[in-house]
Structure 1
Amino acid sequence: TRIDPAADGLAAGWPASAPLQGSLEARMPQVGVWSALAPPGWRVRGSLAAQVQIAGTRGQPDWRGQLQADDVAVISLIEGIAFSNGRLRITADGEHLAIDSLRLEGPRGAAEGGTLEASGEARWQTQPAGGALWPAITLQAKADRLRVSNRPDRRLVLSGQTQARLQGDQLEVRGNLRADEALFVLPDEFTPSLDTDVVVRGGRQATTPTEPGRQVHTDARLEIDLGERFDVRGRGLQARLGGKLEVRSTPAEPTPRVLGEVRTTSGSYRAYAQQLTIESGALRFSGPYDDPTLEIVAIRPQGSSDQRVGVRVSGSAQSPTVRLFADPDMPDSEKLAWLVLGRPATGTGAEAAILQQAALALLSSRGEDRGTQLAQSLGLDDIGLRGQTQNTDGTVNAAAVSVGKRLSSQLYISYERSLIGTLGTVSLFYDLTRSLTLRGRAGEENAVDLIFTRRYD
């Protein structure tokens, strides 16, 4: 019987039982063409060597061989990722593929950037129902002080182990990770963004798959220990956090959930032009990672005074609530004076301007006004503008600009310059006791005052 390949096609001319035999050896030196396979903004490089032998039949080919990659580097400047000195060894034996070893080093080598080592295997299995082929993959990874991200606003060093197993359409992930070192700088809340009604035309368009893909059901559980050097900064907060979290995802609830509690071990919170000490702080997660419940108490250092004044932050991260508190309790106006000045206010001079700025910040939804931001950038505590005022004797004080700096919990210095005068006034306030304050003034007005304050409940 003669088979005509042109009439019956290539499959008829090449039956499934036809034997196969051959070998392939390839070497690729260092080339940048690998980056074309990476996502935008990523760079991949490395050398590749392969030795493959094929046997069996056309219907059931038998692949055997080895794949080696050396000097592998994966870089993303945007994400702060810079892995280098990588090595990959893969062995193929029929339908079984083994990742014998995968090793990557962090930035500046293993001594400073840590290492990542992984291994695993993969094989195709026939499902009993329908006879479809599904992959069966297992992976194990171990990180040893691996610098995952090295961005100035996002540094993260991790150690720990993770395991992943894909069996048909079931993906299971387990892991225990510890942050050896971390620094996250919170983004500026004034960062501009596009409105929801803005439509961007052009650029890459997402392609719609023509056929529905196989849905993978994920069951993930990762335990994360924040360690002893987990720092968060930004929006007035400088804190070191500690605690343990658990990240879960199940087929019934595929959206990742975070469970656990994070507490502040030390830190400060800047509010109303004052650097407050965080006395206690807790972030409790019971759902989405970006909306924990807040319970933070930050107090103003009062030196020898037994009066405790500060702010209490409650609510959620998406909708926080900031309130003044005092122990013993007092009216809100007194709380604000003690918080900003460290003593009851006299209601005159630079103190009135400072309290006015703090009151505006208290009423502001953002907590800090533009004047406070400018003062911080110049290394000052406050910058104020006082309008024209009239004294009890009928004289008029012209409008003036003042700047101030608190040198300690008891010492405050300010400089006030009239908008129409030629001289300025330097004022020095020193709290001798809780009720006694020494004030010295030099410049346009020269005086030394001893201010005694007595409180009446």
Structure 2
Amino acid sequence: MTAKGSRVRITVPPMVRLDVSPDVVFDATPSLFTLDGRVDVPWARIVVHDLPESAVGVSSDVVMLNNDLQPETPQTASIPINSNLTVHVGNNVRIDAFGLKARLTGDLKVAQDKQGLGLNGQINIPDGRFRAYGQDLLVRKGELLFSGPPDQPLLNIEAIRNPDATEDDVIAGVRVTGTADEPKAEIFSDPAMPQAEALSYLLRGQGLDSNQSDSAAMTSMLIGLGVAQSGQVVGKIGETFGVSNLALDTQGVGDSSQVVVSGYVLPGLQVKYGVGIFDSLATLTLRYRLMPKLYLEAVSGVDQALDLLYQFEF
């Protein structure tokens, strides 16, 4: 059976709207479904709403239980499906997701067999903007490389600050590499310079001033960016040692910035230990929940304090 069409509108609420022009051949036997051909996507709009900061991904070792509290058996098609499709992404396909607003083009090979669904090919970002570090950055290069599972593309994206708004003819930007579930972001510049200097050009369009507080602010921000990318690793370490919600973070600004590790050693008892980035002064904080929204907090550092805290929303 052959299926052909031109600009058939498909909507997948609430994120995807697209027009497809299929030219595929479908062959069915009692033991196998086979799908071959080509699908053009001349137009599409993909909008992915931002997730809350507290959202976490589902672990690969999660076991789903049925109503009888027994592990669910993965559902499989009663008749195997083999597919070999070429998907052409046209010039009017746009995405708005996680700070990226861009146009997409490229070609993908879609293959499915008893091993599962796989994608091979490359999606390019010829133009777009990326919201990061409080800036609307211009996408200078964007590539998504697929070679296997569809949810594991390799990223190679560079987004730069508008050169017209940057002094000294410096190009400063962010380079994102790695896989989609564990991307790595780094700051770069042309010409090459120290990270704190490059960050200053990225955020402010100019280099660091000579005063120490300016440099300290950029250095503490860089440390904070590195700490933020280590969150998943730190959480797994905490689970190993029985500490729940173990987190590594930064707090304070400038010369008073600290790297802080925190976690719950007992239900309701949180321990924080912070070390100054520039002065190496340590602070130990114990916070115990007496009742919902009421906490007793003890702080030991340069100063000693015992506080009774009440948390409320307005």
TM range, normalised to the smaller chain? Answer: 0.5 to 0.7
Residues 276 and 298 in structure 1, CA contact (< 8 A), matched pair in contact too: yes
Q: Distance in 1 between matches of 2:111 and 2:255?
A: 61
Q: How does 1:11-410 map to 2 (within 5 A)?
A: 139-149=1-11, 151-189=13-51, 190=53, 192=55, 202=67, 216-251=79-114, 254-303=115-164, 305-346=168-209, 355=218, 358-359=221-222, 362-365=225-228
Residues 184 and 229 in structure 2, CA contact (< 8 A), matched pair in contact too: no
Distance change (3 Å), C-alpha of 1:193 and 1:273 = closer
Residues 5 and 23 in structure 2, CA contact (< 8 A), matched pair in contact too: yes
Distance change (3 Å), C-alpha of 1:194 and 1:325 = closer
Letter in 1 for 2:184: T
Work out the number of aligned pairs and report it.
Answer: 229
Please state whether the residue corresponding to 2:7 is helix, strand or coil: strand
1:109-160 Cα shifts (integer Å, max 9, x gaps): xxxxxxxxxxxxxxxxxxxxxxxxxxxxxx3323321221163522222112
Q: Distance in 1 between matches of 2:206 and 2:120?
A: 42
Q: Distance in 1 between matches of 2:210 and 2:130?
A: 26
Letter in 1 for 2:139: I
Q: Distance in 2 between matches of 1:221 and 1:286?
A: 15
* Structure 1 position 175, deviation (Å): 2.4
Letter in 2 for 1:322: A
Distance change (3 Å), C-alpha of 1:156 and 1:350 = farther
Distance change (3 Å), C-alpha of 1:350 and 1:341 = farther
Please state whether the residue corresponding to 1:246 is helix, strand or coil: strand
Please state whether the residue corresponding to 1:228 is helix, strand or coil: strand
Q: Distance in 2 between matches of 1:163 and 1:221?
A: 10
Q: Which residue of 2 aligns with 1:401?
A: none
* Structure 1 position 273, deviation (Å): 1.1
Residues 169 and 214 in structure 1, CA contact (< 8 A), matched pair in contact too: no
Q: Distance in 2 between matches of 1:327 and 1:146?
A: 45
Q: TM-score, normalised by structure 1?
A: 0.43
* Structure 1 position 173, deviation (Å): 0.4
Please state whether the residue corresponding to 2:201 is helix, strand or coil: helix
Q: Which residue of 2 aligns with 1:79?
A: none
* Structure 1 position 220, deviation (Å): 0.8
Residues 341 and 351 in structure 1, CA contact (< 8 A), matched pair in contact too: no
Q: Which residue of 1 aligns with 2:243?
A: none
Greater relative CO (CA pairs within 8 A, separation 6+) = 2
Distance change (3 Å), C-alpha of 1:193 and 1:214 = closer
Instruction: Identify unmatched segments of 5+ residues in structure 2.
Output: 231-251, 257-314
Residues 183 and 231 in structure 1, CA contact (< 8 A), matched pair in contact too: yes
Residues 213 and 255 in structure 2, CA contact (< 8 A), matched pair in contact too: no
| Alignment RMSD | 3.7
Distance change (3 Å), C-alpha of 1:257 and 1:181 = same
Distance change (3 Å), C-alpha of 1:246 and 1:388 = closer
Letter in 2 for 1:173: L
Letter in 2 for 1:156: L
Letter in 2 for 1:268: R
* Structure 1 position 307, deviation (Å): 1.2
Q: TM-score, normalised by structure 2?
A: 0.61
Please state whether the residue corresponding to 1:226 is helix, strand or coil: strand
Q: Distance in 1 between matches of 2:227 and 2:168?
A: 29
Letter in 2 for 1:169: S
Residues 340 and 354 in structure 1, CA contact (< 8 A), matched pair in contact too: no
Residues 240 and 264 in structure 1, CA contact (< 8 A), matched pair in contact too: yes
* Structure 1 position 314, deviation (Å): 1.2
Q: Which has the larger radius of gyration?
A: 1
Distance change (3 Å), C-alpha of 1:349 and 1:236 = farther
Q: Distance in 2 between matches of 1:214 and 1:158?
A: 25
Letter in 2 for 1:181: W
Q: Distance in 1 between matches of 2:146 and 2:215?
A: 41
Q: Distance in 1 between matches of 2:213 and 2:128?
A: 29
1:251-303 Cα shifts (integer Å, max 9, x gaps): 5xx31110111111101112211111111111111111111111111111121
Q: Distance in 1 between matches of 2:100 and 2:163?
A: 20
Distance change (3 Å), C-alpha of 1:141 and 1:206 = farther
